[in-house]
Amino acid sequence: MGINDHPQPQRWSEAAAGPELRIPFRFEEALTERLRLRIMTDADVDAVHAYQSRTDVCEYLLYEPRDHRTVSEKIAKWSQRTTLEREGESLELAVERRADGQVIGDLYFSLKTVEHSCAEIGWALHPDHQGLGYATEAAAELLRMSFATIGLHRVIAEVDPRNDASVALCRRLGMRQEAHFIEELWFKGAWADTVVYAMRETDWHDTTIAGAGTLPAHFTSEGPDRTRKPLKPG
């Protein structure tokens, strides 16, 4: 029997004990207390350009400030992406405030690996709407969707450690720091570090109140409960 006659080892995801993802996953929309997360449309170009064109917003994002045409071309592509099934597929979602329909930011959600059941999340808000818990509320919903709806095992966020607001957001969500890569990226003219924050499904069950909506346990609808420590600081 030659080596090629042996049965091929089974891929982990095909093994009986492997993870079972509920994919293909078609995103429609998601509602939180104050927000609607939805697929972007052409009508969002001005609102998205208002913050993606800003140097302060883009300081730690992989892209440079975008002009109107670039945002328009991006949204034309993002609006066609509604389903996650294969590794590397991603969604770019508009974060819309329910009270007035204003688009205040966006969320990135990528199926990083199907075999190992992991997604990556990212975020950006217009500075006018930062500091109000919107990113926490929106990202908490993505974590709920990841674990409760799609059945993922792990969600990560890759962040520049100088990006205090993004690091704080990861920690508020209950994600833990798992790695710090030194000078991993040639980023905007200099070497930059990356920290990886992560949450497993079991962590998520620990950090959310069952049935209490989308906010992490140490937040109330009035804002953070300062009397409680974050559940799992990174």
Ligand X SMILES: CC(C)(COP(=O)(O)OP(=O)(O)OC[C@H]1O[C@@H](n2cnc3c(N)ncnc32)[C@H](O)[C@@H]1OP(=O)(O)O)[C@@H](O)C(=O)NCCC(=O)NCCS
Binding site for ligand X (CB under 6 A): 57, 60-61, 122-125, 130-136, 159, 163, 165-166, 168-169, 219, 223-224
Nearest CA-CA partner of 184 in 175, 168, 176, 195: 195
Residue that the structure tokens 């080892």 belong to: 9
Q: Decide whether 153 or 171 has the Cβ nearer to ligand X.
A: 171
Closest contact distance (angstroms) between CB of 169 and ligand X is 5
CA angle at 200 for the pair 198 and 205, rounded to the nearest 5°: 125
Closest contact distance (angstroms) between CB of 125 and ligand X is 4
Q: Decide whether 61 or 145 has the Cβ nearer to ligand X.
A: 61
> Could you give the CA distance from residue 50 to residue 126 in angstroms, rounded to a whole number?
8
**Angle, helices 45-52/68-78, rounded to nearest 10 degrees:** 120
Q: Could you count the other beta carbons within 10 Å of the beta carbon of residue 177?
A: 16
Q: Decide whether 60 or 78 has the Cβ nearer to ligand X.
A: 60
Nearest CA-CA partner of 139 in 113, 164, 112, 105: 105
Closest contact distance (angstroms) between CB of 173 and ligand X is 9
Closest contact distance (angstroms) between CB of 48 and ligand X is 12
Type and span of the H or E element at 120: strand 118-125
Q: Decide whether 131 or 233 has the Cβ nearer to ligand X.
A: 131
Residue nearest to ligand X (CB): 133
Phi, psi of 54 (to 5 degrees): -90, 135
Q: Decide whether 6 or 229 has the Cβ nearer to ligand X.
A: 229
Closest contact distance (angstroms) between CB of 165 and ligand X is 3
